[in-house]
Chains A and B, each alone.
Chain A
Amino acid sequence: EDKVVQSPLSLVVHEGDTVTLNCSYEVTNFRSLLWYKQEKKAPTFLFMLTSSGIEKKSGRLSSILDKKELSSILNITATQTGDSAIYLCAVEASNQFYFGTGTSLTVIP
C-alpha cells in the first residue's frame, strides 16, 4: 500500500535553532513531492520537488529530494516563532495524492 511517513511527529525548538524535517515515501509511479505549511488554517504551498528539480530553496527554508532513498528533508534555519506550524509532506503518484500526517513544529522565543 502506498504511503507517506513523516518524522518526527512533533518538535519543540528555541528561536534561532535549525531544524530538519523528514519525509519518506513508498509509492508506485512517483511523480512529485510537495511540502506545505499549515497553521491554524489551510495549508500553504512551500516547495515542489520532482526528478528534474530535486533541490529548492526559499529564504531560510530549503528542501532536498533523495530519489534513491525515497525521501525528502525540509530544513529551516534560524527558526522564528512564526515558523510554528504543522509541516505536511505530500506525494503525487499514479494519479493519487498521498499526505503524511505532518510534523508539528513549535518555536519558543
Chain B
Amino acid sequence: DSGVTQTPKHLITATGQRVTLRCSPRSGDLSVYWYQQSLDQGLQFLIQYYNGEERAKGNILERFSAQQFPDLHSELNLSSLELGDSALYFCASSARWELGTQYFGPGTRLTVL
C-alpha cells in the first residue's frame, strides 16, 4: 500500500458525460501527478500540482481539468467523455517539487460506453 488513495476504483459511464476522479496523496506529500494509461498509448503524464498550484502540464486535453485543494487532495475532471477516454487513471504523489520518488495510487478504471 503506497499510502495514496484514489476513488472510485471503477467508473462506467456514457459518452458525453462528465466524471470526477479523486486522489488523496500520502501524508505530507505536497506534489500530486495525474497520469492516463491506455493499452495503445502507455502511461501518459497529464498534469502536476504542487501545494495547490499547477506546476507542469503534459498531454492533457482541454476537456480535462484538475485542481488541488488546500487539504492537498486533488480532483481530475473529465467532461464530454469519448470512447477513447476509457483508460486507467493514476494519481501519484511525492514529497518534493521534482519527479523523484513518486508513489502511485491504485488507479481508477474508467470505461466510457
Contacts and interface: CB of A to CB of B under 8 A. Distances in A.
B25 interface: no
Contact of A99 (B2, B42, B98, B105): B42
| A interface: dominant SS | strand
B49 interface: no
Contact of B104 (A42, A100, A101, A102): A42
Contacts of A34: 99-100, 102
Interface in B65-103: 90, 92, 98-103
A103 B101 CA distance: 20
Contacts of A102: 42-43
Interface string A37-65: 00001111100100000000000000000
Contact of A92 (B42, B90, B98): B98
Given A42-B107, A43-B43, A88-B43, A32 B98 contact: yes
Chain B interface size band reads: 20 to 34
Given A42-B2, A43-B43, A102-B42, A97 B106 contact: no
Interface in A67-107: 88, 90, 92, 95-102
Most chain B CB within a 10 A radius of its CB, from A31, A32, A41, A42: A42
Contact of B100 (A32, A41, A98, A99): A32
A98 B45 contact: yes
Interface of A: 31-32, 34, 41-45, 48, 88, 90, 92, 95-102
15 contacts: A34-B100, A43-B90, A45-B101, A48-B99, A48-B100, A48-B101, A96-B56, A97-B33, A97-B48, A97-B56, A97-B58, A97-B99, A98-B45, A99-B44, A102-B43
